[in-house]
Chains A and B, each alone.
Chain A
């Protein structure tokens, strides 16, 4: 019992949809029964507002296996361009796995197998001929625990440019300044760009990682619980940053913190046990969710 997906379809590699923005009516709101979780892939309740957005990333019938264990069951979702999309759900529901699949970071793990596909600007990500390096350069990632390299702040920020072989000192300096300003860190570190990045506080390190991610000028920012290791003040700063970065970047943020999702995101996707249950504008999802399951989670009754 699959939703009528004419465009997403049962796809593998060669899916190439000529440039488009809106989806067929078949993807409009469908009720999914919470009770059918144990059975075949439950249909995702995707609100109409999401369907109306222009999307940058399309996840198409995506399944992921860790060895024999199926971690993601037929995920279908579109990430809107220029907006912040939050992935919420209880621990182990597959949010981080889904996020890491978007820049193919799961390739690094042994025994991972995928079915389905993801499309980035209408081009397949998992096609055999895809240059994974190029793909990753167009996506920036920020991890749960900040991981600046054991180098100077400057070297950290321009690492992405060094990969591309950029040596022009002026370009490097400009990019460093621009990225640090974009990450709201410039004023704090401009006098010590060449000191070790490990000497920064946790919140500063995380903003440095954000600066590093945006220095390479990606289109999409993938953030895996970026604030979970930070204190409330640092969290506030990073959330303000995320709010400013929208528009220029499309952001997907995985978060455990529902208040954060409510504060920061335009759209929220609720996942449960490897399935995408409901996906809609943040306000609607939190105030008037369609599914009982969603309501139970956002009001804190489980998870």
Chain B
């Protein structure tokens, strides 16, 4: 019977599709495992306490550590967040709560999306022209502002998306009780979306933690651990820039340190992502 043949073929193709999916998944997982394994093998050897406690010694055979770069990246992320998070969130609030359909909002949203996709090297060059060249020195302010520039569209869009997910019934109930729109947003809508907004922020931080190009044009790099406020006015170290710098050095020991840096960077991003998942799950069990 024709239908019986059709049935058999349908079932067969069902099985084939299933097998193909599994194969490709295994393939990709194998690839990931390969890359991770290779990294760990090369980098782990050069990972030592020195990495976290010493600055570069200048001696190519005994390169020292990347303590300065860790501190540098931390400071840059902090400064970038101080600017990027408030500006991003306020933009997101505007897009979601005020004039959601207005003719101003649409271009703003579009521009945010475009900016989010701008190659980070372009951001770096922009930072150079505006914040480095006029002062004739590379500095951390330029670096953190370049990173903030990258953060803002990400935070704005995720904040907007998350605020939109808050049910309208909350807003109506609040307004019906005599609250103003601002009060409703601050006291009801944003708290209702806090978990998701924090996730969006952590995503943005994970993104800028791994940026290199913008920093090469703005903060450049340094061999010294930053200690005081005045260091911000000078070339500033960062993990990504230091990895780049080390990886093109001739001495293999110096390059090995770059691999160690890569492992630390990937672990940092991994931990951030993990933290995000744990955070989200703890707020929404099951």
Binding site for B on A (CB under 8 A): 103, 105, 108, 110, 133-134, 136-137, 139-141, 143, 145, 147-151, 159-160, 162-163, 209, 212-213, 216
> In the bound complex, do residue A216 and residue B177 qualify as a contact, i.e. CB atoms below 8 Å apart?
yes
Tell me which residues across on chain A come within 8 A of B192, comparing CB atoms.
Answer: 149-150
> In the bound complex, do residue B178 and residue A149 qualify as a contact, i.e. CB atoms below 8 Å apart?
no
Number of interface residues of B (CB under 8 A): 19
Give 15 CB contacts A-B under 8 Å: A105-B172, A133-B180, A139-B176, A140-B176, A141-B177, A143-B176, A147-B167, A148-B173, A149-B170, A149-B188, A149-B192, A151-B191, A159-B174, A159-B177, A160-B177
Given contacts A110-B101, A150-B191, A163-B183, contact A145 B177 (CB under 8 A): no
Given contacts A149-B170, A163-B183, contact A136 B176 (CB under 8 A): yes
Nearest opposing residue in chain A for B194, CB measure: A150
Instruction: State which residues 184-214 of B face A: CB under 8 Å.
Output: 187-188, 191-192
Which of A136, A159, A212 has most chain B Cβ within 10 Å?
A159
Interface membership of B12, Cβ < 8 A: no
Q: Report how far A212 CA is from B178 CA in the complex, Å.
A: 12
> In the bound complex, do residue B177 and residue A108 qualify as a contact, i.e. CB atoms below 8 Å apart?
no
Tell me which residues across on chain B come within 8 A of A162, comparing CB atoms.
Answer: 187
**How many interface contacts (CB-CB < 8 Å) are there between A and B?**
61
Apart from A136-B175, A136-B178, A159-B174, 12 more pairs, CB < 8 Å = A105-B175, A108-B172, A134-B178, A136-B177, A137-B178, A141-B177, A143-B169, A147-B169, A149-B192, A150-B170, A150-B191, A163-B177
Tell me which residues across on chain A come within 8 A of B180, comparing CB atoms.
Answer: 133
Binding site for A on B (CB under 8 A): 101, 167, 169-180, 183, 187-188, 191-192
> In the bound complex, do residue A105 and residue B176 qualify as a contact, i.e. CB atoms below 8 Å apart?
yes
Whole-angstrom distance from the CB of B105 to the nearest CB of chain A?
13
Tell me which residues across on chain A come within 8 A of B173, comparing CB atoms.
Answer: 141, 143, 147-149, 209, 212
Whole-angstrom distance from the CB of A101 to the nearest CB of chain B?
13
Tell me which residues across on chain B come within 8 A of A136, comparing CB atoms.
Answer: 175-178
Q: Report how far A41 CA is from B169 CA in the complex, Å.
A: 33
> In the bound complex, do residue A149 and residue B174 qualify as a contact, i.e. CB atoms below 8 Å apart?
yes
> In the bound complex, do residue A213 and residue B177 qualify as a contact, i.e. CB atoms below 8 Å apart?
yes
Whole-angstrom distance from the CB of A4 to the nearest CB of chain B?
36
Q: Report how far A110 CA is from B187 CA in the complex, Å.
A: 24
Q: Report how far A112 CA is from B53 CA in the complex, Å.
A: 66
> In the bound complex, do residue B169 and residue A145 qualify as a contact, i.e. CB atoms below 8 Å apart?
yes
Q: Report how far A108 CA is from B173 CA in the complex, Å.
A: 12
Q: Report how far A265 CA is from B273 CA in the complex, Å.
A: 57
Whole-angstrom distance from the CB of A103 to the nearest CB of chain B?
6
Q: Report how far A148 CA is from B170 CA in the complex, Å.
A: 7
Whole-angstrom distance from the CB of A231 to the nearest CB of chain B?
20
Q: Report how far A168 CA is from B86 CA in the complex, Å.
A: 32
Q: Report how far A209 CA is from B173 CA in the complex, Å.
A: 9
Nearest opposing residue in chain B for A133, CB measure: B178
Q: Report how far A134 CA is from B177 CA in the complex, Å.
A: 10
